[in-house]
Amino acid sequence: MSTQSVLAAAQEAKPNYKTRDEIPTQYKWNLDDMYKTKAEWEADVKKTEELAKDFTKHQGKLGNSVAELKQALEDYSVLSRYFEKAYIYANLGFDANSSNPDLQTMADRTEAMLAVVNEKTAWLTPEITEIPDAKLKELLASPELATFKYMVEDTVRTKQHTLSKDKEELLAQVAPINDAPGTIYNMLAKDIKFPKIKDESGKEVQLTRANFISYMESTDRNVRKAAFDAYYGAMGGFQDTLASTLASHVKTHNINAKTHNYKSAVEAALTPNNIPVSVYEQLVGTVNDNLDLLHRYMDLKKRMLKVDELHMYDIYTTLVENNHGYISYEQAQKMVLDGLQPMGKEYTDVLQTAFKDRWVDVYSTDDKRSGAYQWGAYDSHPYLLMNYQGTLDDVNTLAHELGHAMHSYYSGKNQHYINSNYPTFTAEVASTLNEALMFQNMYQNAKNTQEKMYLLNSYLENFRATLFRQTQFAEFEKLIHEKEAAGESLNATNLKKWYLDINKKYYGETMISDEGIAMEWARIPHFYRNFYVYQYATSFAASAALAKQVLDEGQPAVDRIRTKFLSQGNAKAPIEILKDAGVDMSTSKPVEQAMDLFKDTLDELEALIAQAEKEKPTPHKPHGIGVKINGKDQHFDTAPQNVNGTVIVPMRAIFELLGATIKWDDATQTVTATKGNTTVTLKVGATTATVNGTSVTLAQPAQITNGRALVPTRFVGEALGAKVEWDAANNTVVITH
C-alpha cells in the first residue's frame, strides 16, 4: 500500500452516533468472543467464588513440599484466570454502555466477586515470605517449579516489607479506605461547575473539564486566556478541599511506606515492581540538566506566535496550521498498518486480525467511558476502547493502544498466566514505540514543507507533554511526599507555591507562569495513582531508543524486541527485560539520547522556519490569477484557482487579511470566522454557507487542495463587508475594505 500523506487523508463525513444501537456492528467490539451468553458469564462468576473459597485449603501447607507449593500456585492461576475473564467482560460491557442498568448490575457483581477473591487469597504472599530461606531455596531448585520461580523470588524479594498474615489481611480489608481520597477527588472534580466563556464567535459557551483543552488550543488568544482564567479560578474556589484531599492521599502513602519498612513512599511504590529508586532520580536529574532545550522551545513558541509575552495559556495552541480534515476510521487503519510496517509482517498481520475480528470499539456515545484503553483477559484476545473523532491524534492513539494490545497478545501467547501480566514500566514502552514509528513514517512521506513543520511541531509537543511535563509532575509528587514526611503542611498555599516554583524552573524566563497555573496540580488525577507518571517519561525515552534500533537494524531488532520484550510479560525484572531488548534504563543514557533527539527535532524545525522566512513569496499565477487587497498584491503559499468561474484562495489567509478571527474544526471541516458583529460559517464541500445565521448559496464550495482549505474569494469578501471586483485585464480579484 502506498503511504498516504497526512494532509491528503480521506475526507469523509464524520459519524455522529447518539446511542450504541445506532453504531454499525463492525465498529463495536465483539464481546461474544469471551462469553456467548450471560448465563455462561454467571457460571464463571459462581465458579470464581467457589474456587476462591476452596483455595484456602492450601493455607499453612505451602512449605511442605514441591508438590504442595506447585499445586497451590497452579490453583491460584486457575482462580485468577476465571476471575479476570469474568471481571473484565462485565466492565468492558459497562464502559461501552454505562446507561444500561443490567450492565451496571453486572459490573457491581464483579466488585463483590473481587472482595471474595481478595479476602480468600490475602494469606498467600505472607505465607510464601514466611517459608524459611533454606527451605524455599530447596523447593525452587526443583524443575517442577521452574514456571513459578521468578514469581516466588519476586515475592520474597520484598520479604522484609511484608507483614504477618493477620496484619496483611487487616490491611486488605481497610484498603478501600486508603482509596477514599482518590474517589473523593474524582467526585469533587466531577461536581465542580465552571463558568461560561465567549468562544471565537463571541457566543457564550459552557466551560467543562472535557472541553477545556480544546479552548486552550484555540487560535484566538482571548478565548485561551478566558478558558485558562475561568478554569483555574473555579478550581481555586475549592483549593482548600482539594489540598486536603491530596494531603490525605499523600499521608496514606507515607504511612504505608513506614508500616512496611520502606525508607520513603517512592521506594514503597517502585520496589514491588522491581524498579530501583535511582531510575526515578536519574530521570528527574537528567531532565533538569536539559531544561535549556525546553526553554529554547518556549523561545520558538513566542517568536512563532508573535506575542510580546508568552503565557501558560499559550502552551497548547499549534504553531503550524493543520488542515488534514476528518480522517475516516478505515483510513486510520491504513495509516497505522503503513506506519508500523517496520515491525514486520507477523506484527501487522495480527493488527489486521484485530481490525477484521472487531477487537476495537470505535465511536463515542454519551454514555461511553471517555478516553482510550486496551484491556483483555489471558483467555481472550485484547480489546481496545476508543472514542474516535477522526483527528491525527486519534490515529496516533489507535497505534498507541494497539501497541499495548500486541504486548498482551505476545505475552499471553508465550508465557504461563503467572508471568503474563506485564508492569506499567514496560507497558508504556510498547505503546509509545508504535507512536515513534508512526511519526517517522509520516515525516518521511510528508508532501510539503508545511506538513513537515506541522509534524515536527507535533513531535516536539509530544516530547514536552511526555518527557518534560510528566517528569515535572514526578518531581512535584516526590517533593510533596517528602514535605509531608518531614512534617510540613500540605495546605493549598504551600502546594501552590511548590508547584509554581517547579513550573517556573521547567518553562524558563520566556514563559510567564501565570498565577492560575499554581493550581494545576488540582487538575491532574494521576497524582492519585502513587508515583505512576514517571513511567510515561521513562517509557518515552526507552521507546525512542528502540524505534531507532528498528529503523537502523531492521529485522534483527524487530525479532529481538518481539522475543525479548513483547513476549516476556513479567517473566523477568522489567529493567532486565528492556536491557535484553536493547535499552538499559538503569542508566541515564536513554533519557540523554532522547534529549539529543529533541534537540535534533528542534534544530530541524527551526531550520525549516528560517528557510520559510528567508524565502520571499512570489505571486503564484499558474492560471493567470491574482488577488489585490486595498491596492496591494497578495501572495499565497497555495495559488489562487479558478474553479467553474469562481476564484478560490487559501481560507486562513483571506479571512485574516480581511481582519477576521477564525476557528477551524478539523472533525467537521468547518471554519467559523468573526469580524465585529459578523459571523461566517463555511464547511468544506457544502453548497451553502451562513452569514449571521442566514443561509447563502455558494457559486463554488470550499475544497481541500494540497492540504489547504480554499474558499470562494467573492463570497468571503462580501460577507465581511468588502467590495469585490474582477479586473479582467489583469486576471485579478480586486478587494477594497
Instruction: Identify the helix (H) or strand (E) that includes residue 611.
Output: helix 589-614
User: If you write DSSP's letter for every residue of 637-672 in order, what string do you get?
Assistant: SS--EEETTEEEEEHHHHHHHTT-EEEEETTTTEEE
Gap between the Cα atoms of 474 and 492, Å rounded = 19
Nearest to 301 by CA among 289, 288, 286, 312: 312
pLDDT of the residue at 341? 98
Q: What is the pLDDT of residues 337-386, one digit of tens each?
A: 999 999 999 999 999 999 999 999 999 998 898 889 999 999 999 999 99
Q: What is the pLDDT of residues 131-180, one digit of tens each?
A: 999 999 999 999 999 999 999 999 999 888 878 778 877 787 777 788 88
* 3-state secondary structure string across 81-147: HHHHHHHHHHHHHHHHCCCCHHHHHHHHHHHHHHHHHHHHHCCHHHHHHHCCHHHHHHHHCCHHHHH
CATH of the domain at 665: 3.30.457.10
Examine the fold and report which residue of 113, 142, 162 is the final residue of a domain before the chain moves on.
162
The verdict on residue 534 lying in a domain is no
The verdict on residue 468 lying in a domain is no
Determine which one of 168, 321, 401, 435 is catalytic.
401
Examine the fold and report which residue of 145, 162, 179 is the final residue of a domain before the chain moves on.
162
The number of distinct structural domains making up the chain is 2
- How many CA atoms lie within 13 Å of 514's alpha carbon, on the beta-carbon side? 19
Instruction: Show the CA angle centred on residue 405, arms to residues 84 and 540, nearest 5°.
Output: 115
CATH of the domain at 149: 1.20.140.70
User: If you write DSSP's letter for every residue of 463-488 in order, what string do you get?
Assistant: HIIIIIHHHHHHHHHHHHHHHHHTT-
The verdict on residue 509 lying in a domain is no
pLDDT of the residue at 622? 44
The verdict on residue 479 lying in a domain is no
Three cell numbers written together for 623? 492560471
Parts of the chain with a pLDDT under 70: 1-13, 322-323, 615-624, 706-707
**533 and 543 Cβ atoms separated by less than 8 Å:** no
Residue type at 120? K
Gap between the Cα atoms of 250 and 265, Å rounded = 9
The verdict on residue 95 lying in a domain is yes
Gap between the Cα atoms of 86 and 643, Å rounded = 60
- The whole-model pTM stands at 0.79
Gap between the Cα atoms of 280 and 590, Å rounded = 13
Look at the chain and count its residues: 737
Three cell numbers written together for 450? 508545511
**476 and 521 Cβ atoms separated by less than 8 Å:** yes
The verdict on residue 98 lying in a domain is yes
Catalytic residue list contains 401: yes
- How many CA atoms lie within 13 Å of 7's alpha carbon, on the beta-carbon side? 23
* DSSP state, residue 728: G
Examine the fold and report which residue of 123, 143, 162 is the final residue of a domain before the chain moves on.
162
- Expressed as residue numbers, the domain containing 632 is 626-736
The verdict on residue 637 lying in a domain is yes
Nearest to 415 by CA among 378, 367, 389, 380: 378
The verdict on residue 364 lying in a domain is no
Gap between the Cα atoms of 634 and 628, Å rounded = 6
pLDDT of the residue at 687? 86
- How many CA atoms lie within 13 Å of 566's alpha carbon, on the beta-carbon side? 26
Query: How many beta carbons lie within 10 A of that of residue 418, not counting itself?
Result: 20
Please enumerate, as own/partner, the contacts of 277-280 that have beta carbons within 8 Å and a separation of 24 or more.
278/586, 279/538, 279/575, 279/585, 279/586, 280/474, 280/478, 280/531, 280/534
